[in-house]
Structure 1
């Protein structure tokens, strides 16, 4: 598939998802960028901001299978991965697949389950396979995890460890709609006369994998590679704000996302603005703040924004 086709199909998907989600074009574009980069999304924000609706809408517009798992304290790994059941007719054990065997898995409120259950997703997210009782089962492609968590509730939750946070290509925050957007939400609800929003598939599952392959043809020049490395190194050298900076996985995340972002924009080459557009959602959750900053207004996103201001941007011709 050519980059022009990726650009056209991406716009169709964003337009279709826009029927359900009012405003938030930047967030929607970042989710689609992550999907095309074959990554996973963590959406961290307050309840009622359409996090679940976003995941379901993208699955519908992309023509992908969708399953939702509500993470609770009593959820077991087998509830996600599947379990072997003894068949009395054949006198053999049969593997019954869990909800992880899908294209888009919504892990709703992922931080409500204990670490053992959270870690059940690690192999699936990294290697696109699950191993149960010594048998390895391949997951369907594409496979995308969209996880949500509520940042304001601390009681009865289990914060995601850094190793699992690192598996997510991006962490996004949705934010409240502005006055006009909220009024438009109400107007659309009155017009359709029902709660559900109908999202039609505008591409096929096979198109998504072809779009993902096309991203590999996006050209990245040496100055852009230097810029990516400089940004990641700057996080490691920020002794004032950060305990630990981004790992090489952060560099790879920037590379993959900037290429996908460029393709959505209709370009077969990456420019510095592509890297800057994806840097905060790609790197912020990989940074560990100094302990003394935990209870201040300093956030990982604000630290990353300052780093973007300081690191020289390469000249592009």
Structure 2
């Protein structure tokens, strides 16, 4: 603050010298140079000498001498800029520091005669820590689960099949009224809704999984679908279906790749591509004599953008209506 005041004082002093000696208030404009030399030069020199002395006497305080309160206030304002960043970015930075090799696998939540089996790509850090599927607060899975009214539909199907208007479970009314969260995933097997992943190992990002690790888990996944006799298999993320297609195309010695012309979201079925149809039929034959419906839905991860929530919800609602 002292340095700033000194500079202000010097500027005012210089302005006063110029106005006093160079401007005549009674005559428009400035005095002529010759008039200045004849009448004001000695005084000008004296005033300028004083201005020089004023400049030489300046001492701008160093940071060591600056008021500590001023420094503290500056540091607080700098810190406030950092804290204004979005919580998701801060969460991502926190996740980056976690060594996932020490985190446990996330076990599947399965039962026999499943009505719906959800399959994720692999557990994220939060899911591994909490030991629940789709557990991160930014994941849209449970919001879609609630708004599509999947649990209500499944309960209706069970009651109709059993000819019983009531399912004896004290928590059911609470789940229907408040909606399900990640903490309820293991409880949902009581209502024939199961969970698994293509790979059970936790990573910070899905692209950290090696291709061999993904391919080596496909047979395990197929076995889970067979043993649970799942009627509806829902793959959460196109990457899961791409991995399955690539695995079977190699096994069948067929060259094929999913692209925008042959792939569509929702229920997997035949199309115009005969090669794709051949692979699909082979995959369905793995579950014979059962033939579950396979759905491919967009990822619900908070890190994945591009498809509006309304479009995702519409895919879910279509699946629910088909149960």
Normalised TM-score (structure 2): 0.22
Normalised TM-score (structure 1): 0.22
More strand by share: 1
More helix by share: 2
> Which entry has the higher C-alpha Rg, 1 or 2?
2
